[in-house]
Homo-oligomer: A and B are copies of this chain.
């Protein structure tokens, strides 16, 4: 790889998600040369991806060019690259644009969909991880309404207008709420010829309740809010197979649907080359308290790809943006301390709470003993997301879109920029 030479030790960060970007921004580059690699040229604000799927926001509102973020920093080099292999014995990685040696390696490659071995779902379901995924869902949904308009066969029409979302975590809940509002409020104006009361939105969760990482009270509030919007919520239900537009479950319930969106689980993803014995639950790499991969001295892992088991979190820290960001900041500090031979305390996750939104004016928020829902929670949700979105222009555009949507009650533009095409998940 063509990188300017430097006498400084080289930190290579794989992945410009919440964790990797923090490392790149916070490392003292008068003491290190920093190389950031990502397969996209932008950072994606994944928590709002569901709004791209539901036509609420355009891609540019939730993506920000990596080069723009790093513009002010010296000794920092971004490259558009996919990492194929890590060779820890020679401290070298292999990418699609060449090889690169490292002094310290940071694996911040996040997570990908976990289909739990169900091949038919992997083949036929829509997913919600990348910007492409988000746009695919939008194109598919809007295209299906167009098709339904031209279908006289009732069963075929229902299959086009039935949406099954698998997974009742924040992603599934927020997407279900947004799609219900789109269907109830916006689309009737766009599709006066179509009976939109035929639309069915089903949210399927394997656990006994949705939002299972939050309290039972929040789960209940969220379920009520979703049902009020017309979403059918199923718990203790698992989708077992999905092909030829038929989804079967572990119960008698069968869904005939052209649109099954898989938001049921994720697993760590990372390049080849890490000792398989160091890979733990959820395909995450086991790290010590310093985010260092166990068994290695110069390889670190962060965020969704990282498994740190503590007394408080015996299954590992939750796969959340907040954890990733805190770990990224922590690791940068650790590297800066190392360069001064200073000691650093082990990483500790500060849980500031969690939240989910269910459409206009509705959200559930839990933070340090406080629990609230409704419009106040919605404003808290909106403010936190605005502050977290990097880049002033993005924030301004998102804010204008949101205010506009709120006043006019009319979510964004419903462009099918390209026809939906199912493509095998390769990233």
Contacts and interface: CB of A to CB of B under 8 A. Distances in A.
Nearest to A95: B150
Interface stretch (A83-91, A267-275, A412-420): A412-420
A402 interface: no
A98 B65 contact: no
Contacts of A150: 1-2, 79, 97-98
Contacts of A59: 58, 415, 417
A254 to B, nearest CB: 27
A97 B152 CA distance: 12
B190 A413 contact: no
A400 B41 CA distance: 24
Contacts of A192: 71
Interface string A248-259: 000000000000
A208 interface: no
Contacts of A417: 59, 63, 131-132, 135
Contacts of A360: none
A67 interface: yes
B42 A416 contact: yes
A275 to B, nearest CB: 30
B193 A4 contact: yes
A289 to B, nearest CB: 36
A371 interface: no
B146 A80 contact: yes
Contacts of A41: 142, 146, 414-416
A425 to B, nearest CB: 14
A366 interface: no
A398 to B, nearest CB: 12
Nearest to A74: B192
Nearest to A396: B400
A414 B149 contact: no
A306 to B, nearest CB: 27
Nearest to A42: B415
A418 B39 CA distance: 11
Nearest to A412: B60
A108 B102 CA distance: 59
A151 interface: yes
A26 interface: no
A13 B363 CA distance: 45
A280 interface: no
Interface in A388-427: 393, 396-397, 400, 404, 412-418
A2 to B, nearest CB: 5
A420 to B, nearest CB: 12
A189 B65 contact: no
A306 B400 CA distance: 41
Contacts of A404: 393
A40 interface: yes
Given A67-B190, A397-B397, A149 B416 contact: no
Given A60-B413, A71-B189, A149 B2 contact: yes
Contacts of A414: 41, 65, 67-68
A65 B190 contact: yes
Shortest 3 CB-CB contacts between residues of A and residues of B: A67-B190, A80-B146, A58-B60
Interface of A: 1-2, 4, 40-42, 58-60, 63-65, 67-68, 71, 77, 79-80, 97-98, 131-132, 135, 142-143, 146-147, 149-152, 189-193, 393, 396-397, 400, 404, 412-418
Given A58-B60, A79-B149, A393-B404, 15 more contacts: A2-B151, A4-B193, A40-B416, A41-B415, A41-B416, A42-B415, A58-B58, A60-B413, A63-B415, A65-B414, A67-B191, A68-B414, A97-B150, A98-B150, A396-B400
